[in-house]
Amino acid sequence: MKILLAVDGSQCSDQAVEEVARRPWPAGSEIKVFTAYELPPPSPEVWPTLTTYFAELERAASEQARAVMERALSKLRSAMGSEANIDGEVAPGPPRTLILDQARNLKADLIVVGSHGYRSWERFVLGSVSQSIVSHAKCSVEVVRCPNGSKTAAS
């Protein structure tokens, strides 16, 4: 079985890692931990320093995404040992698109994502990566909810 576990460092994402780690997957399963990060558009006050601003922003976002991925990999490897082939990847770009691309390239049987538990108005304003994945994935998707509907942002 091929599982794509998309993580972002939020509490809901951590719950998804826990969920994948505690399950007995078929022998020879492959689990890919994937983190995508997007840079915000520049504001007018940083236009004079765009080169250094974007380089620093890219470095910080990449480091944070890599730390999120490494934390998930560590949790999975310690919980599962050699029961599954576990690897990870970080990529810059829109998470909605990149997660679906990864699933297609991996030929994933299952995508696991955390839900931020947004209510309808917040979902309308902020959007929902998990909702987009459920709507457009060509394989099964599991959305793991946070305890008590928590919606802690990525740290």
Tens digits of per-residue pLDDT, 7-33?
999 899 999 999 999 999 998 999 999
Instruction: Answer left, alpha or beta for residue 5, where phi above 0 means left and psi between -120 and 50 means alpha.
Output: beta
Residue 40, pLDDT > 90, answer no
Instruction: Answer left, alpha or beta for residue 19, where phi above 0 means left and psi between -120 and 50 means alpha.
Output: alpha
What's this model's pTM, rounded to 2 decimal places? 0.84
% the chain with pLDDT above 70: 81
Element (H, E) at 58: helix 50-80
The pLDDT assigned to 121 comes to: 41
The pLDDT assigned to 49 comes to: 62
Nearest CA among 38, 51, 13 for reference residue 91: 38
The pLDDT assigned to 21 comes to: 96
The pLDDT assigned to 37 comes to: 93
Residue 123, pLDDT > 60, answer no
Residue 140, pLDDT > 70, answer yes
The pLDDT assigned to 44 comes to: 66
Q: What is the CATH number of domain 2-149?
A: 3.40.50.620
The pLDDT assigned to 129 comes to: 87
The pLDDT assigned to 43 comes to: 65
By DSSP bridging, strand 85-92 and strand 140-144 are unpaired
Residue 124, pLDDT > 50, answer no
The pLDDT of 33-60, averaged and rounded, is: 77
Cross-strand bridge partners of residue 6: 34
The pLDDT assigned to 47 comes to: 57
The pLDDT assigned to 119 comes to: 46
